[in-house]
Amino acid sequence: MDSFSSPTMSSSGSPGDTEALMDQIKAQLAQAYAQEFLETVGNKCFAKCVTKPGSSLSGSESSCISRCVDRYIEATGIVSRALFSSSR
């Protein structure tokens, strides 16, 4: 049985079942978003900051990656707040 035909997807479920399913879907979406976010940030910051890949990061590369990730997280937060505040 695949995930699309699981018993929890039945239309005869109670409201509690539906709510639990929605919570599970939200958690899975949040996990997928976080994983994609980290991959994107990692790839972009690595490409920007690491000019000569080696066995370890130099101090300047490490600082650059740290600043890049911080800026990316801050920018994502600003965009998210703007989107959510305009939808209300």
| Token code pair at residue 43 | 């790839």
pLDDT tens column, 1-24: 445 544 544 455 677 788 999 999
What local confidence, expressed as pLDDT, does residue 11 receive?
A: 52
Which residue matches tokens 């490409």? Answer: 47
pLDDT for position 12? 56
- Backbone φ, ψ for residue 84 (5° rounding): -70, -30
- pLDDT given at position 83: 85
- pTM equals 0.62
pLDDT digits (tens, 9 = 90+) for 29-76: 989 988 998 899 989 999 999 988 899 999 999 999 999 999 999 998
**Where would I find the H helices in the chain?**
15-49, 59-86
CB neighbours (10 Å) of residue 85?
8
